[in-house]
Structures are given as C-alpha cells and as structure tokens.
Structure 1
C-alpha cells in the first residue's frame, strides 16, 4: 500500500515512516498542508495519515477540502485532542478513523488494516484468481497447495495486478505506486520485479503479458 503522512513533527514523522516501511508500505511525507496538496496532485495513495496542528493551517480544513473535492482516499487523523466533541467533529468532517497521541504503532497498524478493509467493502481481504490466492495484509501468496515467499515489492506489485486484472499498467505508473519520492529508481526496476513475479506464477492460471510501448497486464484471471 502507498501512504501519505502529513505531520510536522520531524521525529514522529521519521519514526512512523520507518515503521510503516518496515511493514512493507510505500510512504511519502509532507510536513505542511501545501506539500500535502502537492503530493495528492501528482500521485495516488491508498491512505492518508493526517495531523491536525500544522504550520500553515488546520488539518481539519485540509480534511474538509479533501472531502469537498469528492476525494475518496481514506483518512486517519492523528490528534492530541481527546475530547469526545473533537472526535465527533473529525468524523463528521469525513475522517475514517482517528488516533489520539501518543499512540502505539501496533494500534496504528490495526486501524490502517481496518480502514483499508472497509474501503474494499468487505472484511475478506484475500484476492483470489484461478489457483492463485494473495492475502496482502498477511503477506501470504498461495498457488494451489504451494506457499510462495515474496519480497515486499513483489507482493505489492502482484497486489496491484490482482486488484485490476486485465488493466494495463505503464512502467511509470508502477514506479509511482511501488516507490516513494525519495527512492532513486528507474523504470528498469519494474522489469526486474515483473520477471521475478513471472517465475513465481509459472504453472499457475495467471500470467503477466507485456504490451510493447504500453506496459503490463495480468491475464488468465
């Protein structure tokens, strides 16, 4: 999954980014509302983590404009305010969930999983196509009776394909989804990950097709 963290506390932001990357997520960090809008204008995210007190404004105003623009990306608010009225206000503005600072990272992980499940419209998170089953949240791939071990970006790439079988993904789009702005990569990295996935999918009902000049597509689903 690709997350955007909007948080001005440098130490907290660094700790959250490190932990979420260890969990296998791609994370971009913005320290201001202005930067947050800039990130959202240039890439797609699965989840936003939003602080309230930011140097150039109130995160609630950001949340309000985010929802007014019909942006459906789920938002978890990180707030130091614990009053019931504040929490109700955040939910009414369009937050999908909130966490009161300080919080345990394990709880943040659990709330992220819950919000992402709700976004998919079901508690069941396993992606199943033919004899291939992928549980992205548990990082588990099975092909028939075989359990397959995947590296993180291989797993996230397969998740993208299995969420949209038949859709063509350009190399640029895949780079955007698999890497953060801070990563120094080229589109050639995608060829490496696709090649690895193809080896894993040998003798399965799925295959990854190359469309010259366009990108890649998952077939056989």
Structure 2
C-alpha cells in the first residue's frame, strides 16, 4: 500500500460524529451541531451549519445536496451551491433521528422517526410518504441501488417497501431478534442483514417487491 499524505485537519466545535464525501468535498458534523464543508485539495473550510449545541449524529450526501440529523429531532437538508436557497430545517420534537439515506436517483431522503420512516422530497420540499415499521424503532434503512425499493430493519426483522406503490403491503422478512444492519449489493441483486444473534442473512430479490411478495 502506498504511503498516505496528510492534506490538513479541521477542528469542529465538539467531537466529530459523522463524515461523508461528496463529489469533491468532505462534510463533517459534530456533537455541537455544526456542519463543515472541507476542500481536501485547497484546504478551504466553510461552515454550512453553525453550532447549535444540539448534536447531529448522522450525515449523508447525494450530488449537490446534504442532510444531517440527530438526537433533538432536527433534520437539516441543504446544498453547497453559493447563493442556493434550498435549505430546509425540519423539527420533530424529541424524536431521535439516527438513520438517514438518500435515494440513488431522486432528491429524496429517507430518515427514521421512532417506529416510522419518512421520505422527504428535497426538490419539492414536501413529504412523499410516512411508513409505519410497527414492530420497533427503526435500526437501519437502505435504498436498493436500482431505486426500486427501500428496506427498513428493526426488532424481529426487515420490511421492504416498493417505491412504485408506497401504499402496498411491504415484503416482510422476519426473524426473532433485532436486525441492526442492512446492505444491498452494488447492482441491487442481493440484500444482506445482520442481527443481534451473531447471524448474517442474505436474500436475492428477482426484480422488485409488490404486494408483500418478491417478484
């Protein structure tokens, strides 16, 4: 392995809770609620979100948009285009938001709200759907790379919703303990999950999910 060259360092207001790469920039957030944009080539730093003393714990980037959320029920969606007004601040009270992910092809961000998952359209500034996981708090979520489905994990299993019909019953992949991790293969051909019983699982969807069935 070749040696790594240190390009610089950035000090946030508190301990760093999450980092995420965009096409060019590195974003970082901290327990103080600040979000920094870092240019690794030029060494420039821009504060996208000043510290609020309310921790931001998850961070995700898609194209020119970013999203950050945390323990105080605050979801921040922004863009780093200069003069861009596409900044949204959503408040959900005391709900801890600790899972979020961008759709691979649309400006939609999915995030956990206790037993629910909400999908927000950052371009239209509106809610697309709110999904009831039911069994427990949401412990993991992942979009299929094809964009066809959204998998959600928690206590006693996984539910997979079809984007084409949010109102249809989700596919339920159940087991007795809590699913705490989800990962799709790069082409969306396989779904893997981990649980608290020291077991990993794998599934192969044929094409899509509809009416609670693998097709």
Same fold, TM exceeding 0.5? no
- When you count strand as a share of all residues, which structure comes out higher? 2
Looking at secondary structure, tell me which structure has more helix per residue.
1
Which has the higher relative contact order, 1 or 2, with Cα contacts under 8 A spaced 6 or more apart? Answer: 1
TM-score normalised according to structure 1 size = 0.30
